[in-house]
Amino acid sequence: MTSAEQGNSKIKAIIRACRLIMRMNQALPEARKSEAMYYQMLINYFTRLLNARENGDFVAAHTVFFPAELIYAMDMVPMHAETTTWMTALFTGECSDILAAGAELGLAYEICTPHRGLAGAFALGVLPRPDVMLWSNMVCDNTAKSGELIMEICNCPGFFIDHPFKDSEYERNYLVGEMEDMVHFLEEKSGRKMDWDKLSEIVARMDRQIELVREVNELRKAVPTPFHSQGFLELVSSDYLFPGQPEAIEYLETLKQELADAVKEGKGAVSNERFRLMTLFLPPMHLMAFLEKISQEYGAVSVVEPFFTYWGEGRLDPTKPLESVAKKSYMIPEMRMYGPMDERALNSIVDCAKQYKVDGAIYYADVGCRHTCATIKLFKDTLNNIDVPVLTLDCDVVDPTATSEEEMGDKLEQFFELLEDR
C-alpha cells in the first residue's frame, strides 16, 4: 500500500460502507428517500476529502462546534475531526488500531476516544493530512487541547478560537473579532480570499436549516413518533458536516415531508410504540445496529435529544454574516453544556420531557467524557423530580471494549421492564 493509499484508508472505508448501506436500502420497500439522500451526502463529503490533494484543494481540519460555515465560504475542504473518528467506528466497527496508536502517543484511557483515536489515526497516517488545523474551547478541555497535538503530529499551522462562556454583546463582539482574525489567518495560509457574499448565502440557508430541524422536532412530538429510533444522528451530522449547504436543506425538507405524511397516516417509527425516550449524549457507535434492533423489539424510540437537536431560540441575519455565525454558536443545543452549569441545561431537559411525553431517559455516560459524566446525578435528580426514570449506561462512543452488547442489552431490558411496571 502506497503512503497516499494508507493516508486515505479510513476515508475509503467510510465511503464503501455508505455505498453498501445505500444498496441494501434500495431493496427495502419502506426505505426513506431522505435516508438515501443522507448517505449520498456522506459519500460526497468524504469523497471530496479523499480527492482533495489530487484536485489541489486546501483541507481545513476542525473540531466540533467550529464555525465550518467560514471554511465553506472560502471554498476549502472541511474535515470534521471528531465526526470522522466516530464515523470510522460506526461504519467499520473497528478502531482498535487508531486507539492503540493514540495510547502510544501517551494519551491516557480517560481521554475522550474521538480525540485519542483521531491523534492515533494521524500518527498512523490512515487519514489525509490537513493543511491547517482549526479548533476552539467548545465544549470541553479535550477539544481545547486536541488542536495543538494535531498540529504537532501533522506538522501544519493552526488557529485556536477562544469562545467566551457568557452570551452578551461584549462577548459576541469578542467572538466576531476572533473569527475575523481566523479569516485573515486562512487567507494568508491558503492564498484564498473570503467570499462574503457566499457567506451571506450560507447564513441564509443555515437559518432555514435550523428552522427545518425545529419543524422536524415538532413532528416528532406525535404519538406514535414518526422518526426512527436513532435518526437524530442524521440531524446531528447534518449540522456538523453540512452547515448552510444546499444538500442539507434538500435532505431536511424531504425528511420533514416524509414525517408529516407518516403523522397524517398515524404511522410510527416502530410497529408498536411503548416507550418514548429522551437520549442524553451519544450512544456507542459500534452498537448502533444492536440498539436499532432493541428499539424495534421493545417499541422504544428516542423522541428528543436536548443536547443535540433541541436548538435555542433566534434567527440568523444574512446581512450580518459574521455576527450571525457568532450568534449561531450560542444557539446550538450543546451550548447548554458549555461553561458553568446553569438553568439552560436543567430547564431544557425538563421542557423536553414534558413536551415530548417522555417515559424515561437514557444517559450514555461516555467514560472518556468528564464533562458530561459530571452531570449524571444532577440530571437524574432533575428528571426524577418530574417522575422520569433515568438509565445510566457506562460506555464509550468509539471504543468497543468499554461495554458489550450483552451487558447493554441486559440493562436496557431491565429498564424497559421498570417502565412497563409503572
Write the pLDDT tens digit of every residue in 316-339.
Answer: 999 999 999 999 999 999 988 887
| Predicted confidence (pLDDT) at residue 2 exceeds the cutoff of 80 | no
pLDDT of residue 183: 98
Share of the chain above pLDDT 90, in %: 75
Residue 283 has pLDDT above 60, yes or no: yes
- pTM attached to this predicted model: 0.95
Question: What stretch(es) of the chain map to CATH 3.40.50.11900?
Answer: 197-421
Q: Into which CATH architecture does domain 197-421 fall? A: 3-Layer(aba) Sandwich (3.40)
Give pLDDT, residue 212.
98
Return the C-alpha cell found at 120: 492515533
Mean pLDDT of 197-207: 98
Q: Which one, of 275, 329, 335, lies nearest residue 301 by Cα?
A: 275
> What class, spelled out in words, does domain 3-194 have in CATH?
alpha beta
What pLDDT band is residue 3 in, cutting at 50, 70 and 90? very low
With a CB cutoff of 8 Å and minimum separation 6, the contacts of 327 are 172, 314, 316
- Mean pLDDT score, 288-317: 94
Q: Provide the pLDDT for residue 132.
A: 98
Residue 276 is predicted with a pLDDT of 97
Residue percentage of the chain with pLDDT more than 70: 98
Q: Please report the pLDDT score of residue 6 as a whole number.
A: 58
Asked if 99 contacts 80 with a C-beta cutoff of 8 angstroms, the reply is: no
Q: Give the β-pairing of 360-366 and 390-395.
A: parallel
The rounded distance, in Å, linking the Cα atoms of 418 and 422 is: 7
DSSP H helices in 230-360: 232-241, 246-265, 288-298, 321-331, 343-355
Provide the mean pLDDT of the chain: 93
Q: Where in the chain is the domain with CATH 3.40.50.11890?
A: 3-194
Is the backbone of residue 93 left (phi > 0), alpha (psi -120 to 50) or beta? left
pLDDT at residue 95 tops 80: yes
pLDDT of 286 above 50: yes
Report the pLDDT value the prediction gives residue 90, as an integer from 0 to 100: 85
Q: Which alpha helices (H) appear in 299-342, and where do they start and end? A: 321-331
Q: Judging by beta carbons within 10 Å of its beta carbon (0-12, 13-18, 19+), is residue 249 exposed, middle or buried?
A: middle
**Greatest alpha-carbon span in the chain:** 64
Residue whose entry in the numeric block shows the C-alpha cell 441564509: 204
Phi, then psi, of 364 in degrees rounded to 5:
-80, 100
pLDDT tens column, 52-83: 999 999 999 999 999 999 999 999 999 998 89
Q: How confident is the model at residue 1 (pLDDT cuts 50, 70, 90)?
A: very low
Q: What tens digit of pLDDT does each residue of 333-376 get?
A: 998 888 778 888 999 999 999 999 999 999 999 988 877 888 89
What is the rounded radius of gyration, in angstroms, for the C-alpha atoms of the chain?
Answer: 21
Query: What band does 303 get if pLDDT is binned at 50, 70 and 90?
Result: very high
Kindly report the backbone phi and psi dihedral angles of residue 112, in degrees, each rounded to the nearest multiple of 5, phi listed first.
-50, 125
Per-residue pLDDT tens digits for 5-28? 555 888 999 999 999 999 998 888
Read off the pLDDT of each residue in 87-95 and give the average, rounded to a whole number.
83
Q: Please list, in sequence order, all residues whose beta carbon lies within 8 angstroms of the beta carbon of residue 203, skipping any fewer than 6 positions away.
A: 69, 244, 316, 317, 318, 321, 324, 325
209-262 pLDDT tens trace = 999 999 999 999 999 999 988 788 999 999 999 999 999 999 999 999 999 999
400: three-class secondary structure by DSSP: coil
